[in-house]
Structure 1
Amino acid sequence: MAMITRRSALTVIAGGASLAAGPARAETMSGRPIYPVAVPIYQSQFVADRIGYFKEAGLDCKLVQGGSGVKTREIIASSQGDVGIGDVTHPMQLANHGRAGRILMPTDTRSSSVMFIIRKDLWDQGITTLEKLTESKRPDGRKPIVSVSSLGGTNHVWSSYYMETMGLAEKVTWIGTGNVDTMLGSLKSKQVDVLVSSLSLLDESKEQGWGTLLFDGTDEAIWNKYIGGKVPVTCHFTVQSTIDKDPPKIQAFATALWRAAQWIKTHSSDEVYDAIEPYVGSTSRKANILEITALKKVADFDCVIDAASFARGEKVWFREMTGIKPLAMSEVVVPDFVLAARKAYPG
């Protein structure tokens, strides 16, 4: 089990306390932030780039699209990227496998991307609940196919938990279909029966006549019924070796991303969209603004994980489906960088 050593902790604290306001060296630091796919949930990276917070923190950044949450995790693990954004289970998976994954800060308090989008033709046939879906068969007699961006990614972790709790998870076949275009394409071409994703993809599929909402796992009442309250779902993460190699760079990332979160908090959905449009152009302005508005309702603008929310998420993270062995909060969460950023730039 990966542990934060006393030396590593002191390095983090010392670096965070002295470097929040900017880099402690004259030269610009090259940086590689990694995001999974082109949807607004990853907007804090996009804003930090477009508004100039990375640059102001002394970073010369090239944002890289990983292609999925799992691929993003692999890029961070191999040190080909500095800071990734994705489901909190990604750094937990790394910690379980000797790569010392570290959560730098959360971005939300519940998932915004567990909307079950069913093919419109199946809905018209009367398949209007998850139970009815699992009772149906594909033309070749196989179980219904549920698509997520990547197996083990955010959509899969949370949608499978809902389905497990209802006793339905084993009655469907789960597949990963990648980025926005391929996810929507799999629904349009009827290669899958249900797509689990976010509001922007729901709106796009409805506009095109391909899909409609079957089950909304983002709804606060449904979330509270099955999950029980606030839980960090998405986070910025890295690995301890990247922290140890260059604490000033990680502090610069944390400072820029904290400032981006505060910018999002104080600007309208239209303004956020105008800032991030180059990154989310695969879906319409209307669809993206709907999702950005929804994200504001679940955002964690404090960017700090508390013990109660971590404990609440354990039943989802540490189960057979994820394969993650239980971790203490102190083994994976490193709050010092964001706390230093908050002190330098009060929200």
Structure 2
Amino acid sequence: MKKWIKPALTLFIILVLIIPLASCGQEKIQTIRIAEVTRSIFYAPQYVALAEGFFEDEGLKVDLATTAGGDKTMTALLSDGADIALVGSETSIYVYARGSSDPVINFAQLTQTDGTFLVSRKKVENFTWDQLKGSTFLGQRKGGMPQMVGEFVLKKHGIDPRNDLNLIQNIDFANIATSFASGTGDYVQLFEPTASIFEKEGRGHIVASFGTESGHVPYTTFMAKQSFIDENQEIIEKFTRAIYKAQQWVYSHSSKEVAEAIQPYFEDTEAKVIEMVIDRYKGQESFAKNPILDEEEWKNLQNIMNEAGELPQEINHDTLVNTKIAEGVMN
């Protein structure tokens, strides 16, 4: 009888020690809900962070939802349908200008240039921007970053969007490419991979990059309500660290390796096309190399909004931007 008491007691002690440890491990996994404005290769570092397990390394489980549009994405965030939003920084300005008591704070930048390209229906030799004068230009939604950047670049090249061309901007974002393919417009402003696919199929020809022309701007950032950041500082830090790892990974690996990593998130797009798009975005440094949204970029954003007549009020960088989190994880 006594012979089995000691082994049994030892087993009991081991179980008492192991079970709490296992429970602690489970408690460390925290779920974070992300609302992305659209599914795009433009956001490659985010998908790299998911595919390479950088979020898991930080003890985070990411629940990613595509909310299709800036308004819907911000609504999801403000109504607590999401913890973090990936969307253009201009949306945080719109919310603040409406007098929000719980402002939306930009804490980690993902892309630092516009991600659209100017696509011509006809092949153009030696393209110059003044060739757009008198043409029909199929632009993006009024008030959104693509359209504001588009108008900013046109004005930069001496083109009045309202008088020098026929500007169409009343077509829903999801239908712009279809409208161009069906014959609307001489030029169109398109995101990748649609621009490259159209060029490959002979439906259009990429003649210029709005990202190269407009300079650095906080085009897409991760943001959260101030209250969420205050109550979940550790989670926000872990999330930002995972994004920073992914940003470094993207620039330290080949476009082919990046394409292979994010392929599961773009099953309907050929691997070669994904690689070509990644290469193009890396070449013009559209992917931010770190999560810091600096003052110069914030100023450029408001200049672009002001030129488009969409800036409700000028807002200081430190009012809606938190760089301490990014600086902390980088150090």
Tell me, yes or no, whether TM beats 0.5: yes
Is this contact kept in 2: 1:116–1:217, CA < 8 A?
yes
Alignment partner, residue 58 of structure 1:
59
**One of 146, 168, 178 as aligned partner of 2:160:** 168
Q: Quote the offset at 1:145 in angstroms.
A: 4.9
Q: Which has the higher contact order (CA 8 A, sep 6+)?
A: 1
Are positions 1:311 and 2:306 aligned together? Answer: no
Q: Quote the offset at 1:82 in angstroms.
A: 1.8
Q: Quote the offset at 1:64 in angstroms.
A: 0.8
**One of 150, 158, 183 as aligned partner of 1:159:** 150
Runs of 4+ in 1 over 6 A off after TM superposition: none
Is this contact kept in 2: 1:147–1:177, CA < 8 A?
no
Alignment partner, residue 32 of structure 1:
33
Task: Summarize the Cα distance change of 1:280–1:157 in structure 2 as closer, same or farther, 3 Å threshold.
Answer: farther
Task: Summarize the Cα distance change of 1:216–1:73 in structure 2 as closer, same or farther, 3 Å threshold.
Answer: same
| Alpha-carbon displacement from aligned partner over 1:127-181 (angstroms, at most 9, x marks no partner) | x765454414xxxxxxx35143x443332121121224434221412134334xx
Alignment partner, residue 135 of structure 1:
134
Q: Which of 328-337 and 74-83 deviates more?
A: 74-83
Q: 1:214 and 1:175 mapped to 2: Cα distance?
A: 23
Q: Quote the offset at 1:195 in angstroms.
A: 2.7
Q: Which has the larger radius of gyration?
A: 2
Q: 1:129 and 1:198 mapped to 2: Cα distance?
A: 20
Task: Summarize the Cα distance change of 1:321–1:267 in structure 2 as closer, same or farther, 3 Å threshold.
Answer: same
Q: Quote the offset at 1:330 in angstroms.
A: 0.6
Task: Summarize the Cα distance change of 1:214–1:262 in structure 2 as closer, same or farther, 3 Å threshold.
Answer: closer
Q: TM-score when scaled to structure 2? A: 0.79
Are positions 1:204 and 2:205 aligned together? Answer: no
Q: Quote the offset at 1:319 in angstroms.
A: 4.2
Alignment partner, residue 90 of structure 2:
89
Q: Quote the offset at 1:214 in angstroms.
A: 4.2
Is this contact kept in 2: 1:131–1:168, CA < 8 A?
no
Q: Quote the offset at 1:50 in angstroms.
A: 1.4
- Which ranges of structure 2 fall in alignment gaps of 5 or more residues? 1-23
Q: Which of 156-165 and 261-270 deviates more?
A: 156-165
Task: Summarize the Cα distance change of 1:169–1:96 in structure 2 as closer, same or farther, 3 Å threshold.
Answer: same
**One of 119, 122, 128 as aligned partner of 2:121:** 119
Is this contact kept in 2: 1:33–1:83, CA < 8 A?
yes
Alignment of 1:158-307 (within 5 A): 158-165=149-156, 166-170=158-162, 171=165, 172-179=167-174, 182-219=175-212, 223=213, 227=214, 229-297=215-283, 298=285, 299-307=287-295
Alignment partner, residue 10 of structure 2:
none
Task: Summarize the Cα distance change of 1:152–1:48 in structure 2 as closer, same or farther, 3 Å threshold.
Answer: farther
Amino acid at match of 2:118: F
Is this contact kept in 2: 1:146–1:195, CA < 8 A?
yes
The share of aligned pairs that are identical, in percent, is 19
Task: Summarize the Cα distance change of 1:130–1:210 in structure 2 as closer, same or farther, 3 Å threshold.
Answer: same
Q: 1:37 and 1:309 mapped to 2: Cα distance?
A: 22
Is this contact kept in 1: 2:111–2:220, CA < 8 A?
yes
Q: 1:176 and 1:283 mapped to 2: Cα distance?
A: 24
Q: Which of 245-254 and 330-339 deviates more?
A: 245-254
Q: 2:51 and 2:38 mapped to 1: Cα distance?
A: 17
Q: Quote the offset at 1:193 in angstroms.
A: 4.3
Alignment partner, residue 4 of structure 1:
none
Q: Quote the offset at 1:325 in angstroms.
A: 1.2
Amino acid at match of 2:59: G
Q: TM-score when scaled to structure 1? A: 0.76
Amino acid at match of 1:53: F
Q: What SS does structure 2 have at the residue aligned with 1:339?
A: helix
Q: 2:30 and 2:54 mapped to 1: Cα distance?
A: 13
Q: Quote the offset at 1:90 in angstroms.
A: 2.1
Task: Summarize the Cα distance change of 1:71–1:131 in structure 2 as closer, same or farther, 3 Å threshold.
Answer: farther
| Alpha-carbon displacement from aligned partner over 1:50-92 (angstroms, at most 9, x marks no partner) | 1112222222222111213343233223221122223221222
Is this contact kept in 1: 2:240–2:291, CA < 8 A?
no
Task: Summarize the Cα distance change of 1:323–1:315 in structure 2 as closer, same or farther, 3 Å threshold.
Answer: closer
